[in-house]
Chains A and B, each alone.
Chain A
Amino acid sequence: DTEVTQTPKHLVMGMTNKKSLKCEQHMGHRAMYWYKQKAKKPPELMFVYSYEKLSINESVPSRFSPECPNSSLLNLHLHALQPEDSALYLCASSPGGSGGTDTQYFGPGTRLTVL
C-alpha cells in the first residue's frame, strides 16, 4: 500500500484566517515533504522532515509553518496568506533511506484558494 492521505481536499480562506493542512501515511516512511504546485508548473519543494526533524526549509515565508507531530503525521499551518499562495499543496512521503535512492509517493493534494 503506497497511500498518502491529505485533508481537506479543498480549502478557501481569507487573508486573515488561520487554517491547517493535514497529511498522513501508514507505510512506516520516515521522510515527509510539503510541495507547492501552481498551474502548469512542476511541484516546488517547501519542507522536508526526516525522522520527525525538519531537515530542509526552502526559504519558505513564515506564514507557512510545518509541524511533524509523529512519524505518520505532517501538518502545514497557514496564517495571513496572500492570494498568490493559492495553489495545489502536495504532501509526499518516502522510506527515508540513505544512498540517494529514496522514492517519494504523493498524496492527492489540497487545492487552496486565498481570497
Chain B
Amino acid sequence: QKEVEQNSGPLSVPEGAIASLNCTYSDRGSQSFFWYRQYSGKSPELIMFIYSNGDKEDGRFTAQLNKASQYVSLLIRDSQPSDSATYLCAVNILYGNKLVFGAGTILRVKS
C-alpha cells in the first residue's frame, strides 16, 4: 500500500462547478496535510494546509480532514480554467520534516 494515494485523473469539471479532489494516507501518526498546485513545467505552489479534523476554508478552497478515516480532500468552488493543473496531496509522515507526496490528480476545468 502506498503511503499517500490519489486518483490520477484527469478530473474534468465545467467552469463554475465544484471540483472535489481526494487523498488517503496510511500512517495514522501523520500530523499535517498539505495541498499543492503544480502547473506544467512549474514548481509546486502551496494552496492549503490542515492539521485538525474538520474543514478549513480559504477563499474558493476548502480542505477537509478526517483522521479516523485517514482521508483528506480539497474542494474548489466556482472552478476556473486557470485552476487546471496537477494537485498534489502531501503528508508529513514522520514527526519532523519528511513530506511524502501522492502521485497527483490532474484537474481540467472546461470553459
Contacts and interface: CB of A to CB of B under 8 A. Distances in A.
Nearest to A100: B31
Interface residues of A, number: 27
Contacts of B44: 43, 90, 106
B97 A48 contact: yes
Contact of B43 (A56, A103, A109): A109
Interface in B27-66: 30-32, 34, 36, 42-46, 49, 51
A96 B97 contact: yes
**B-side binding surface: helix, strand, loop or mixed?**
loop
Contacts of B104: 42
A115 to B, nearest CB: 20
Contacts of A103: 32, 34, 46, 49
Contact of A102 (B42, B88, B92, B102): B92
Nearest to B31: A100
B97 A106 contact: no
B88 A31 contact: no
A56 B31 contact: no
A78 to B, nearest CB: 19
Interface of B: 30-32, 34, 36, 42-46, 49, 51, 88, 92, 94-104
Contact of A94 (B36, B42, B97): B97
Given A45-B99, A100-B94, A106-B36, 20 more contacts: A2-B46, A43-B101, A50-B96, A56-B98, A88-B43, A90-B43, A96-B97, A100-B30, A100-B31, A100-B92, A100-B95, A102-B32, A102-B97, A103-B34, A104-B97, A104-B99, A106-B46, A107-B43, A109-B42, A109-B43
Interface of A: 2, 31, 33, 41-43, 45, 48, 50, 55-56, 88, 90, 94, 96, 98-109
Most B CB contacts (10 A, CB to CB) among A42, A99, A106, A108 go to A42
Nearest to A107: B43
